[in-house]
Amino acid sequence: MSQAKIKTLTFAVVHFSVAFAVTFLLTGSWVLGGLIAMIEPAVNTLAYFFHEKAWEAFHRRHPKAPLSP
């Protein structure tokens, strides 16, 4: 398995764990912790997809705009 795939998988584990831990600590509910740990990363992934599409469109309109400050 490539390093990129391993990093992606380990990041997913960290993301799910943090979402679960924060929700559980705030609510004390294992069920809500599990639901949020499943839903939040999925929604975040979808939001990131559209974020990337917006940046691609921006750079098509402004090709000389810097990528970073």
Residues 41 and 19 sit within 8 Å (Cβ to Cβ): yes
Domain parsing of the chain, residue ranges: 3-61
pLDDT in tens, 16-66: 899 999 999 999 999 999 999 999 888 888 888 888 889 889 989 988 877
Other Cβ atoms less than 10 A from the Cβ of 67: the count is 6
- pTM for the complete prediction? 0.65
- Residue 69: pLDDT over 70: no
Of 67 and 60, the one with more pLDDT: 60
Give the pLDDT confidence score for residue 36 in this predicted structure.
92
Give the pLDDT confidence score for residue 26 in this predicted structure.
96
Residue 34's Cβ-side half-sphere holds a number of Cα atoms within 13 Å equal to: 3
- Residue 11: pLDDT over 90: no
